[in-house]
Structure 1
Amino acid sequence: MRIKNNFTTPKASGYRDLNLLVRLPESKIIAEVQLHLEAFSVIKNGKEHDNYEQIQQIERLQLTDNRELSEIEVASINKLRKESQQLYQQAWSQYLTA
């Protein structure tokens, strides 16, 4: 039904995959299939997931408190996102030299 190639257009974090939406023939259920490179899967399910959870926690608190993010929170989010970008860029570079 749909193909999204995040290898040619990576997400802001640097994450890359091939994302497919398929309709299962008998049930007609729409399913998402993600194809990953091994190094990206390790990062996504490890350190980057921790970063993602920390960002979500900061943003949930901000919404709960109905306020703007503080300078410290913005800096923390930026630091976590930059770390994720570096992890994914390092992983991607190993495929470019292989």
Structure 2
Amino acid sequence: MDEITSHHCNLNIWAHLPDEVWNRVANIYELMPGWKGYIDGIPHWFGQEDDDVFIQASVEPSGLSFYARMNQSDWDSWIARVKSEATKVLGFEVGEPEDGFM
């Protein structure tokens, strides 16, 4: 089924990392499918909160946080690509702290 549901993911990309790292993260944002740009300073993909399908990111104490509304398979594919690209570009393994990535 292609049911649209909510998704949330924190990654081990921490707020205290140097600007050099965050500049690379901004470049990763732009490479990801569905990039729409910054809306009120918040990165968005595919749409905004008023749309059926969207992804947005924010920097939280728990790490780089993504919130999405989309079908499960598209979300799984998209967030896996973020983790893969970030791992390559940032030089450390990127994943969810809940899964042991620090």
Which interval holds the TM-score relative to the shorter structure? 0.3 to 0.5
Higher strand share: 2
TM-score, normalised to structure 1's length?
0.40
* Greater Rg by CA: 1
Higher helix share: 1
TM-score, normalised to structure 2's length?
0.38
